[in-house]
Chains A and B, each alone.
Chain A
């Protein structure tokens, strides 16, 4: 396991922030850490990084307890923290070169530019970071996190402030990294990001892990499967889908409501329906899935 947190408890200023947090992340896995504001996600990350000392419980990074300044851990770790400050007087190249040298890497200017281009930052000779937009800073932060080719990436809201294309580019980078065996811990409020990227999720509410599992499994066990309203021209055909992962819930006029098992990609379901002669002319999402799961898990706890 790259990250293993068990029964973590942590207090700050005499107030108990984390009561019982569990988390485990393996190589090649993208883990989404979800929870309402103030639930304790960033505190959990800080404890995992060795920046805060837990009161009780177990925190392991690369099978060992993180200690401040532990070069063996930090050399294999890339972090994009919640508070992501930069040296505004530096250029992007200078900033990345500075961190590369701190990681004892000698990168030529061309390599530094390649790293920046990889996260969508084109060459900007002489332009200081102080003039960068929020999205550009976010990309630069990600480039810094990737500078040491880490085995573990911990990213707090990595797509904040990015335009849709930028988000997609960052998604592609993260998927590629996970494919190469990098473990990624992703803290985010953007469920679209989680839906697209994460293999497993953990939900923290008021300092406790209230749910942790693979998304599909969690959605199935809690009964929050994705629902879609389909418009059919020519009414509902006689032939019903053979795949038990597609459930027909209701029909009303030319509209019908179907529920999909999370293990079935929607595009495959539509393909199957059309193959059966269903003339689908419009598809609308009707809630369900991860969003409903998140709302119900966090509401239940708050209640």
Chain B
């Protein structure tokens, strides 16, 4: 296995197994739950329809996930340097590019996890199921804002 892949795996493992990573995921989940609650309450007040809620939620998940992935990425370099665990990594027989690639790979995995983990919340926020499917189809194929 290439050093970049090994480091990416380690970074992903850190996100899913370390207390710090889990804390970030919990924070993300809490934030998304809050947004979902707000959007659903808007649906109850008939201010938004279900498809609109799904559309907004997907956008929020994408943006917030990307933001958090950036924070996790900064932590994986700056934080490691602070904790003193970066130096041993810099002294392995791997190029700096491979280490950087591994870190970026780790951030990509983190973003994928961030993006994937709140899917059930998004689904829940759009009831009934037919509307959810229709909204997803609209997003996927038309690229237009569904109404």
Binds A, one of B64-72, B77-85, B117-125: B77-85
Residue of B nearest to A73 (CB): B93
Q: Is A281 an interface residue (CB 8 A)?
A: no
Asked if A85 and B85 sit within 8 Å, CB to CB, the answer is yes
Contact pick for B93, options A79, A86, A87, A104, CB 8 Å: A104
Chain B residues near A77 (CB, 8 Å)?
Answer: 91
**Stretch in contact with the other chain, from B14-22, B24-32, B34-42, B135-143:** B14-22
Interface hits, B76-101 → A, CB 8 Å: 80, 83-97, 99
Contacts A98-B6, A101-B1, A102-B3 given; does A85 touch B86 at CB 8 Å: yes
Q: How far is the CA of A74 from the CA of B80 in the complex (A)?
A: 20
The CA-CA distance from A92 to B68 in the complex, in Å, is: 29
Inter-chain CA distance A103–B18, complex, in Å, is 24
Classify chain B's interface size: 20 to 34
- Known contacts: A89-B13, A89-B14, A89-B18. The answer to whether A102 contacts B87 by CB under 8 A is no
- Judged by a CB distance under 8 angstroms, whether A214 is at the interface is no
Q: Which residues in B have their C-beta under 8 angstroms from that of A88?
A: 18-19
A99 and B92 contacting across the interface, CB-CB below 8 Å: yes
- Separation of A84 and B17 alpha carbons in the complex (Å): 21
B92's partner among A86, A87, A90, A102 (CB-CB below 8 A) is A102
> Do residues B19 and A89 form an inter-chain contact, with CB atoms below 8 A?
yes
Distance (Å) between the CB of A101 and the closest chain B CB? Answer: 6
The chain A residue sitting closest to B18, CB to CB, is A89
What's the least CB distance linking A234 to chain B, in Å? 59
Q: Which residues of chain A (87-120) have a CB below 8 Å from chain B? A: 87-90, 98-99, 101-104
Expressed in whole angstroms, the Cα–Cα distance for A237 and B74 within the complex equals 74
Contact B96 A69 (CB under 8 A): yes
Q: A85-B84, A89-B18, A101-B1 are in contact. Are A71 and B13 (CB under 8 A)?
A: no
Chain B hits for A204, CB < 8 A: none
A93 to B141 Cα, complex, angstroms: 48
Which A residues lie within 8 Å of B83 (CB)?
85
A151 to B68, CA, bound (A): 42
A86 vs B17: C-alpha distance when bound (angstroms)? 14
Whether B93 lies near A75 (C-beta < 8 A) is yes
Contact indicator B6/A101 (Cβ below 8 Å)? yes
Flag if A74 contacts B93 (CB, 8 Å). Answer: yes
Q: How far is the CA of A104 from the CA of B3 in the complex (A)?
A: 9
Give B residues with C-beta under 8 Å from A: 1, 3, 6-7, 10, 13-14, 17-19, 21, 80, 83-97, 99
The contact sample of 8 A-B pairs, CB cut-off 8 A, is A49-B91, A74-B91, A84-B84, A85-B83, A89-B21, A98-B10, A102-B6, A102-B7
A68-B90, A69-B99 are known; give 18 further A-B pairs, CB within 8 A.
A51-B87, A71-B93, A72-B93, A79-B87, A79-B88, A81-B84, A81-B87, A87-B85, A88-B18, A89-B13, A89-B17, A89-B21, A98-B10, A99-B88, A102-B7, A102-B92, A144-B88, A148-B93
